[in-house]
């Protein structure tokens, strides 16, 4: 202990530079008294929500009558301690969205797109939110899924042939054409050179099936659509259900964006799309949905801070959202940037860049409302204890200010968790992972329930001001 006191006495707390390395050592006071990990008390936060009965309610038999996916109804929160912040500039678009939501509950069909980073990967958060919204306002199915999915997900099953290759707008490899569409990812299949020399087509396939692990509403769907573009050569397609051929067709080969739609009077157990061509089209995704209600689409962008939202061909991006009748964007970003911030100017620069992407979406899909979900609490390891990243609270503050000024609703996930240094308590209760960043499935359910309560309270408030009832 005496020897340890020598470097502690002479090396300053900020360390010293020697041989190009910053050398640090415990200060004297830390030798005798260890720094203790602080944990917030989140018992009230955790106990205040009930996520146990999310799959209860009406079960659908999959018989499509044009009304498959009608709502179960129920009650919505009238108030919440973690409300949506809807500025006067955001109110008009949110009110239009609420009107569209009310019409969906009466038999129309709209879309909500949830774009985010790895916090929503594999349908984490989105799956829970989708189930709640579809129970209340109608809708079935997981909605859009990638043409080639690489994330472990609970909401659907997918297999692809080995010659399928994935491209994304947010991670290499990328496509020069930028024709990713609304999912910001796409797939093509590699052409067999030996067959090509003989002018013979190459085959590729995508297999899709419902997942027993999905929330109840996502396990059922009556429509399956294949979205594609850049088809310049004849491409045959055969669709098999449980290995039985049910559909045979050719894709439109004019190079434009098109949809191959299939409808069912039941939920297809296993569908296999087999494509055959001498040049692969670009596949931008599949959609698994019902006849009416709300489709809630998960678009997870691992490693993204939201900058890639403008990285798809603008016309195709807008066209797919028009096709889906998108009325709301839920954006959830920031977690991949917070740990890189050195000072407040870095934060302001990031918020400025995110603002430009929001303006881009508002320009391309002008009728849709936007909700921005701020980052969760995240911890860094500092002198042996986990602490909130220093600039995270300021990031949340600047996000909310930017939303207020640009017609965007804001939800403060950081505050809903308990605020500063709340993440260690979530980790200790198994609600977040050991990386002190990502929620566990149970933690995601709690966070999602709080968002849904804020969502429902805002809708209830709109109904009251409108003077209407469900």
* Same domain membership, residue 186 and residue 274: yes
Instruction: Assess whether 126 and 96 both reside in one domain.
Output: yes
Residues 317, 238: one domain?
no
| Same domain? 134 vs 157 | no
Residue with tokens 């500092």: 382
Q: Could you report the per-residue pLDDT of 72-107, keeping only the tens digit for each?
A: 877 788 888 899 999 999 999 999 999 999 999 888
The domain spanning residue 274 has which CATH number?
2.60.120
Residue where a domain stops, chosen among 289, 319, 349: 289
Query: How far is Cα 334 from Cα 412, in angstroms, rounded to an integer?
Result: 12
CATH code for the domain of 425: 3.40.50.1110
In total, how many domains does the chain have? 3
Same domain for 283 and 303, yes or no, is: no
Q: Note whether 347 and 391 are within 8 A (CB).
A: yes
110 and 55 in a common domain: yes
| 406 and 312 part of one domain | yes
Global pTM?
0.89
Distance CA 275, CA 250 (A): 9
- Give the pLDDT of the chain (470 residues) as one tens digit per residue: 778 778 877 788 778 888 888 888 777 666 666 667 777 788 888 877 777 767 755 333 334 455 677 888 777 888 888 999 999 999 999 999 999 999 998 889 999 999 999 999 999 999 999 999 999 999 999 999 999 999 999 999 999 999 999 999 999 999 999 999 999 999 999 999 999 889 899 999 999 999 999 999 999 999 999 999 999 999 999 999 999 999 999 999 999 999 999 999 999 999 999 999 999 999 999 999 999 999 999 999 999 999 999 999 999 999 999 999 999 999 999 999 999 999 999 999 999 999 999 999 999 999 999 999 999 999 999 878 999 999 999 999 999 999 999 999 999 999 999 999 999 999 999 999 999 999 999 999 999 999 999 999 999 999 999 865 54
- For residue 27, give its domain range: 2-32
Residues in the chain: 470
- Rounded distance between C-alpha atoms, residue 447 and residue 48, angstroms: 11
Residues 88, 99, single domain; the answer is yes
The string of pLDDT tens digits covering residues 418-455 is: 999 999 999 999 999 999 999 999 999 999 999 999 99
**Residue 47: what pLDDT?**
79
Same domain flag for 280 and 187: yes
Together in a domain, 131 and 155 = no
Q: Do both 131 and 168 map to the same domain?
A: no
Q: Are residues 295 and 436 in the same domain?
A: yes
């Amino acid at each position: 202990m005496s020897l340890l006191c020598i470097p502690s006495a002479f090396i300053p707390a900020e360390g010293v530079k020697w041989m190009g390395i910053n050398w640090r050592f415990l200060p004297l006071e830390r030798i005798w008294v260890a720094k203790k990990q602080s944990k917030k008390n989140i018992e009230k936060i955790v106990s205040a929500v009930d996520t146990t009965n999310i799959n209860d309610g009406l079960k659908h038999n999959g018989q499509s009558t044009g009304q498959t996916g009608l709502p179960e109804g129920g009650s919505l929160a009238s108030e919440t301690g973690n409300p949506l912040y809807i500025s006067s500039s955001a109110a008009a678009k949110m009110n239009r969205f609420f009107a569209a939501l009310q019409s969906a509950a009466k038999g129309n069909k709209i879309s909500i797109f949830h774009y985010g980073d790895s916090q929503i990967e594999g349908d984490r958060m989105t799956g829970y939110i989708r189930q709640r919204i579809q129970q209340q306002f109608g809708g079935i199915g997981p909605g859009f899924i990638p043409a080639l999915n690489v994330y472990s997900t609970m909401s659907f099953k997918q297999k692809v042939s080995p010659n399928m290759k994935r491209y994304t707008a947010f991670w290499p490899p990328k496509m020069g054409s930028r024709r990713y569409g609304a999912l910001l990812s796409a797939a093509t299949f590699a052409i067999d050179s030996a067959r090509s020399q003989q002018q013979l087509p190459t085959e590729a396939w995508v297999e899709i099936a419902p997942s027993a692990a999905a929330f109840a509403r996502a396990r059922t769907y009556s429509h399956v659509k294949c979205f594609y573009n850049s088809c310049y050569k004849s491409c045959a397609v055969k669709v098999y259900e449980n290995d039985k051929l049910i559909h045979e067709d050719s894709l439109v080969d004019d190079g434009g964006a098109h949809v191959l739609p299939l409808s069912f009077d039941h939920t297809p157990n296993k569908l296999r799309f087999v494509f055959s061509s001498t040049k692969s089209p670009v596949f931008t995704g599949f959609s698994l949905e019902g006849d009416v209600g709300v489709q809630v689409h998960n678009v997870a962008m691992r490693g993204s801070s939201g900058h890639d939202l403008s990285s798809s061909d603008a016309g195709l991006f807008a066209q797919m959202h028009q096709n889906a009748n998108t009325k709301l964007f839920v954006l959830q970003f920031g977690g991949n940037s917070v740990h890189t911030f050195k000072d407040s100017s870095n934060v302001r620069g990031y918020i400025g860049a995110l603002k430009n992407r929001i303006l881009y979406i508002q320009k391309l899909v002008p009728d849709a409302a936007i909700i921005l979900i701020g980052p969760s609490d995240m911890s860094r390891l500092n002198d042996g204890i986990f602490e909130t990243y220093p600039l995270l609270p300021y990031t949340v503050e600047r996000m909310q200010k930017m939303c207020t000024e640009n017609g965007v609703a804001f939800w403060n996930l950081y505050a809903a968790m308990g605020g500063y240094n709340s993440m260690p308590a979530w980790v200790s209760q198994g609600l977040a992972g050991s990386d002190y960043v990502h929620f566990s499935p149970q933690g995601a359910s709690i966070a999602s329930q709080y968002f849904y309560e804020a969502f429902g309270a805002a809708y209830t408030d709109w109904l009251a001001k409108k003077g209407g009832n469900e």
